[in-house]
Amino acid sequence: MKKLDVALGERSYPIFIGSGLLGQDKISAFVGNEVMVVSNTTVAPLYLDKIQQQLTGLKVNTVILEDGEQFKNWQTLNQIFDGLLEHHHARTTTLIALGGGVVGDMTGFAAASYQRGVNFVQVPTTLLAQVDSSVGGKTAINHPLGKNMIGAFHQPVAVVIDTDVLDTLPDKEFAAGLAEVIKYGLIRDGEFFAWLEANIDRLLTRDKEALAFCIERSCWNKAQVVVEDEKEGGVRATLNLGHTFGHAMETFTEYKSWLHGEAVAAGMVMACEFSVEQGWLEHSIAERTEQLLIKCGLPTKGPSGMRSADYLELMSHDKKVRHGQLRLVLLEGLGQAVVTANYDQTRLASYLERYCAQQGGD
């Protein structure tokens, strides 16, 4: 087992990474005498009993949500509040998020809001959640006009990552997680990007040793950024490479047909291409990125029928907009991301028009 620490003073917490952790007692030390476990219809039948076995003797209730990004909304969030209130959970309760990024985000938001804030533990069961969304305390729900636009910063008290749960993860979900892994190499860890290129076949066959290193390195990168900029006032926004374009795709498709990681993959290609157009990035880096994503089985083009006007409108709701101006995460080199509004806006509009024309849009 590996242990990393997210050093945020009184809000610091550990990340445990290892095989078989759901069969060990890694959670009870971080909860009080009452617990609400939040999971979904896919994950609960597989792993809920292992969580409950760690909580013997405590008051334990469960809320089981529908599975899917389209359920990341107010109506589903209220199911968590309903469960907490119906079972009379106090401010001393602890929520446990057992599932992927959707479950983690909604459980965290519920924990941030219930009685003005209670503790929660992240137990991520998808690769994407393990390497990204479970670490850092960003919690949210979606709105029809924009993804993750309503939420709060609320750090967990622990993150427990059992690598064995990836054995049951569908290939499509696994590939979506690899998009976020590749992101770390692009924005701040060029050495890791080269390792991914050399070891992608091992990862795709879910080699245990390669996976453990991949998850640990990703979490280490995420933790370093979070410690430097917890509330996303600066460098933390670089973690959104590809997300501005990708969130627009997810919103356009109503969160139904694209996984988050798939949209991020296509969005990262767009960010790389536009960085090249700006003269900031070597074309070879954009090519290497696209080839690595293709090898993972990820999409590198956006939804057909999406117009440049759709991108611009939906991107205008992005959280990185400041004073009416959209900031983008772009690359100045491998491992060198910047968050900037100092790009040629006319060139962006022209790029989007050409891009969409190739995809069957305007």
For residue 10, what are the CA distances in angstroms to 7, 96, 155, 157, 260?
9, 20, 11, 10, 32
Question: Which are the catalytic amino acids?
Answer: 116, 138, 180, 222, 232, 236, 240, 243, 247, 260
Token readout for 48 is 């809920």
Phi, psi (deg, nearest 5) at residue 174? -65, -45
Token readout for 218 is 């990703």
**Among the listed residues 30, 65, 82, the one whose alpha carbon sits nearest the alpha carbon of residue 51:** 30
- Tens digit of pLDDT for each residue in 22-69? 999 999 999 999 999 999 999 999 999 999 999 999 999 999 999 999
Q: Are 312 and 349 spatial neighbours (Cβ–Cβ below 8 Å)?
A: yes
- Tens digit of pLDDT for each residue in 79-91? 999 999 999 999 9
Residue 68 CB: number of other CB atoms within 10 A? 15
Across residues 157-179, what is the average pLDDT? 97
pLDDT band at 281 (very low <50, low <70, confident <90, very high): very high
pLDDT, position 358: 86
For residue 242, what are the CA distances in angstroms to 29, 141, 180, 313?
37, 19, 10, 16
> How big is the chain by its Cα radius of gyration, in Å?
20
pLDDT at 362 > cutoff 90: no
- Tens digit of pLDDT for each residue in 270-280? 999 999 999 99
Q: What is the DSSP letter of 133?
A: I
Domains of the chain: 2-165 (3.40.50.1970), 171-359 (1.20.1090.10)
pLDDT at 293 > cutoff 80: yes
Across residues 156-169, what is the average pLDDT? 97
Which own/partner pairs from 224-233 qualify as long-range (CB within 8 Å, at least 24 positions apart)?
225/136, 225/188, 226/6, 226/8, 226/135, 226/136, 226/137, 227/6, 227/7, 227/8, 230/8, 230/136, 230/137, 230/153, 230/155, 231/153, 232/138, 232/319
d(CA 68, CA 128): 14
- Tens digit of pLDDT for each residue in 249-266? 999 999 999 999 999 999
- Tens digit of pLDDT for each residue in 311-358? 999 999 888 888 789 999 999 999 999 999 999 999 999 999 999 998
Across residues 114-126, what is the average pLDDT? 98
Q: Are 138 and 240 spatial neighbours (Cβ–Cβ below 8 Å)?
A: no
- Tens digit of pLDDT for each residue in 184-242? 999 999 999 999 999 999 999 999 999 999 999 999 999 999 999 999 989 999 999 99
DSSP assignment of 243-256 equals HHHHHHHHHHTTTT
pLDDT, position 324: 82
- Tens digit of pLDDT for each residue in 348-361? 999 999 999 987 65
For residue 65, what are the CA distances in angstroms to 98, 99, 103?
11, 10, 8
